Amino acid sequence: MTSPGAALRKFVDRLAPLLPADFGEPVRAMDLRHPQSLAAALPVCRFWPAVAAGGGALLAPLAELSPHLAWVQNPNYVAAPPSPDFLDNYGYAVLAGPGGLVASDILALGVLLLGPGTHYPTHRHPATEIYVVAAGEAEWRKGEALWRRERPGSLIRHETMVPHATRALDDPLLAVYLWRGDLKTHARITAH
C-alpha cells in the first residue's frame, strides 16, 4: 500500500502541469511530507468506488488516497440545502489547505464529487478557483453565459466573486479544485 504522502505527491506531480502558472507553482511548492489521515464518508461516497476505479493519470493516485479522505460539505449548504436531494449527491475532500490532509494557507486543493444529474446551483466565493475535470462530463456556467459541456481534462477558471454553477450529466462528476486568496470564506448560493 502506498503511503498517503507518496500518493499525494504523485497526484500533485500529475496535476501541476495541467495548471496555469499562478496555481501550478504554489501546488508544486507545497510541503506534502506529513499528511494526516482524516477518513470520513458522506452519502455521495457511494459513487466514489466506480469513479476512482476509472483509471487515468489523476484518478490512480486519488484512489490510493481513498482510505485517508475526509468527505465534507459546505456548512452554508448543510444549513439550507438548495434541493431535497442535494446533500445526498454532493461532497468534497480537502487534500491541502484548511482542514486538509496537509496544511496550507496559500491555497486549497481538493476534489468535488457530484452524483449523476446533480445541479450545483449558482454560487460565488471570494477565492479564485480552478477546476480540472477528472471524471464524468458536466455542464458549467459563469454569470449569465450559456452552459458549456466540459469533459475530463478540461480546465475551468472562476475569478473572485464570479457567480458560477455546475450540472453533472449521466455519470458522477469528479473535479479537482484549487482555491487561491480567501480560503476561509465558504461559497454561498446566490440568484446571480
pLDDT score for 192: 53
Dist. CA 53–CA 63, nearest whole Å: 7
pLDDT score for 30: 84
Answer whether residue 1 shows pLDDT above 60. Answer: no
Sign of CA dihedral 50, 18, 13, 102: negative
Tens of pLDDT along 73-94?
Answer: 999 999 999 999 999 999 999 9
Residue 127 in contact with residue 169, Cβ under 8 Å?
A: no
Alpha helices in 81-128 (DSSP H): none
Would you place residue 24 in the very low, low, confident or very high pLDDT band (cuts 50, 70, 90)? confident
| Alpha carbon separation from 98 to 23, 106, 107, 167, 176 (Å, rounded) | 17, 10, 9, 26, 16
Type of residue found at 119: H
Its pTM stands at 0.92
* Spatial CB neighbours of 53, under 8 Å, sequence gap ≥ 6: 63
Torsion of the alpha carbons at 59, 60, 66 and 69, rounded to the nearest 10: -50
Alpha helices in 36-186 (DSSP H): 48-52, 59-65, 75-79
Tens of pLDDT along 61-72?
Answer: 999 998 889 999
Answer whether residue 165 shows pLDDT above 80. Answer: yes
pLDDT score for 84: 95
In the chain, pLDDT over 70 holds for what percent of residues? 97
